[in-house]
Structure 1
Amino acid sequence: MSEPLRGGVIGAGVFGGYHANQYARLPGVVLSAVLDTHPERAAKVAMPLGGRGFTDMAEFLEAVDVVTVASPATFHAEHALAALAAGKPVYVEKPIATSVGDGERVRAAAAAKGLVVACGHQERVGFQAMGLLDIPEQPLLLEALRHGPPSERSRDVSAVLDLMIHDIDLALVISASDPVTAEGEGRLSGDGVWDVARAEVSFEDGFMTVFDVSRQAPERKRTMRIVYPSGEVEIDFMARTYRNTTPFPLNADLAGTPAGTDPLGVSVQGFLKAVRGEAPRPIVTLQEAIRALDLALAVEQALADPG
């Protein structure tokens, strides 16, 4: 039997803890190391799971075989590039980077080394499990709402790169055409970050999308409505339920599946399978993550210049 992969996590925040737990519990991998600028935070996440805390990147990379980047988004590309330079496959939390140029640098480094890079657009897991990616019709309209209360998490990026990018990825994956226009309006927070945004994006074939996100809402709401020529699908991501009036069957037991109960685990497992050669690709590829980032940045530009 081959030795388990040694998993390492960069970032000892909330999401870093989630990823560390996945490496500690999934088959064929162990949690070996956690890197953070605060040694006590790294140790607090790593040690209960059998790993070690690190503050030095080179030492951390020597202790691992695969890396998850769960640091603040503005460091995603830098940390992914460091891991790739050391020959380590990488799972990067979304967004893959904060500029397309940095995303392309990650892609070039991965190609040069022949290494797997996955991105954590975890809502894709639910879409696959539901069967939405198998509907043979092209959508006419997608309306997505993703609201949540104020939080100090992800203050280094806008609500577009934090929240809307999930729904942008889903729109791109169900459409066979490319986006052509983006219009938007939003509201800046006191620290100059877009915390509320509404965008309309049109695609070449007439597919229309409406994205509505807020980090200033009184409660969490995450819904989506997709209209097809034969009917529509309404999804409540919080309840993991949906209504389907199309003639195409969807999985009625999503809430009882691993995709419904632990989408992060399914996503990380997909990355590990791709690393081992057991799957041809991770659930969300680097190219797909860059495409979602590109459209998200176009929405940000539309917010800044609505005219």
Structure 2
Amino acid sequence: MKRIRTGIIGIGYLGYHHLRNIKKIEYFDIVGINDINKERLDSIASEFSVKPFYDQDKLIEESDAIFILTTTSSHYNIAKKALEKGKHCFVEKPLTFSLEEADELVNLAKSKNVLLQTGYVERFNPAFIAVKKIIKEPLFIESHRLSPFTGRSDDLSVVLDLMVHDIDIVLYFVKSPLKSISATGVPIISNYIDIANARLEFENGATANITASRISKDKMRKIRFFQRYSYISINLLENYAEIYNLKMIDGKMCIERNVEKGKNIEPLYLEDLSFAEAILGIKEPEIRPEEARESLYVATIILEKISESLRKL
């Protein structure tokens, strides 16, 4: 069996958990790991019995695929170096800060004929997987992604930190051009937007109302889909979905409720496995780089709308 020589750059919170899952996947052969924090690098390398690389370029050179799990501001430069050398790249979301950088990476991956995947892990949430086939043409989508403040991802807004997951899901289901976007948001405890709400309206009549906060007391990750004669509510945090269908029972119109429980598999494991299977040609890529670019585009407009609203205050 062919194994993928793999390097991991960035072993903070997410990097640690990616490494833990990558170790379980037989398709990966971990060449080594790299991080700007040398003390942490040595500690994690020892814990997982992998080689620490103090030279990022050398790790890229010796690998077939690179996981880029660093701060968003460094995604572009690292990914560009790796792609130019013909390496497959997994980049945590968002792909980059700017659309210009994203476009360059997408085009570079195409020209080098390598895979560029972005970390939209909710696509691999078992509850999402369990019901995605029954979500056909949603007319209204409502999502709430709330989290306590962690201090991580302090180099970007809640829109790029959290909301972008739900933007990705909305765009996955609504295959229609955007008609309009309105948004509001405010910074509370950081220098960036900490809580935001966006309303997306599409040419086909669908509407999505998306709320994200990183200053909540409790966690919540719910997304609801309303379509003709049915309503699907996915609890991404608790790993189950509720499906409500309008049905004729004994000559009467009734609402039938069913619950779908997601499989007990870690989404991050499925995400990393999907990357390996796409590289090896076992399966088609689950997330195309053009989709990551489109989510970034919508997030960028949302941030522009928020800036406009703040200037009016």
TM normalised by structure 2 equals 0.90
Which residue identity is paired with 2:73? T
Deviation (angstroms), 1:247: 6.8
RMSD: 1.9
Q: Distance in 1 between matches of 2:92 and 2:7?
A: 14
Equivalent residue for 1:263?
267
Which residue identity is paired with 1:267? E
CA contact (8 A) 1:130 1:251 kept: no
SS at match of 2:30: strand
Equivalent residue for 1:56?
55
Q: Distance in 1 between matches of 2:246 and 2:24?
A: 39
Deviation (angstroms), 1:250: 8.5
Equivalent residue for 2:34?
35
Equivalent residue for 1:296?
299
SS at match of 2:209: strand
Runs of 4+ aligned structure 1 residues displaced above 4 Å come to 247-251
Which residue identity is paired with 2:287? V
Q: List runs of 5+ in structure 2 lacking aligned partners.
A: 248-256
2:308 maps to 1:305: yes
Q: Distance in 2 between matches of 1:43 and 1:33?
A: 11
Equivalent residue for 2:129?
129
Residue pairs, 1:156-235, within 5 angstroms: 156-235=155-234
Aligned length: 300
**Which has the greater radius of gyration?**
2
Deviation (angstroms), 1:223: 1.0
Counterpart selection for 1:279 from 277, 280, 283: 283
Residue deviations 1:223-244 (CA, integer Å, cap 9, x gap) = 1111001111112111112210
Deviation (angstroms), 1:251: 8.1
2:154 maps to 1:151: no
CA contact (8 A) 1:117 1:286 kept: yes
Deviation (angstroms), 1:30: 2.5
Q: Distance in 1 between matches of 2:258 and 2:298?
A: 28
Q: Distance in 2 between matches of 1:206 and 1:245?
A: 22
Which residue identity is paired with 2:130? M
Which residue identity is paired with 2:108? A
Residue deviations 1:36-63 (CA, integer Å, cap 9, x gap) = 1122222222233232112322111133
Deviation (angstroms), 1:277: 1.4
Q: List runs of 5+ in structure 1 lacking aligned partners.
A: none
Q: Distance in 1 between matches of 2:41 and 2:236?
A: 31
Deviation (angstroms), 1:149: 0.7
Equivalent residue for 1:252?
260
TM normalised by structure 1 equals 0.92
CA contact (8 A) 1:8 1:20 kept: no
Which residue identity is paired with 2:61? E
SS at match of 1:222: strand
Which residue identity is paired with 1:268? D
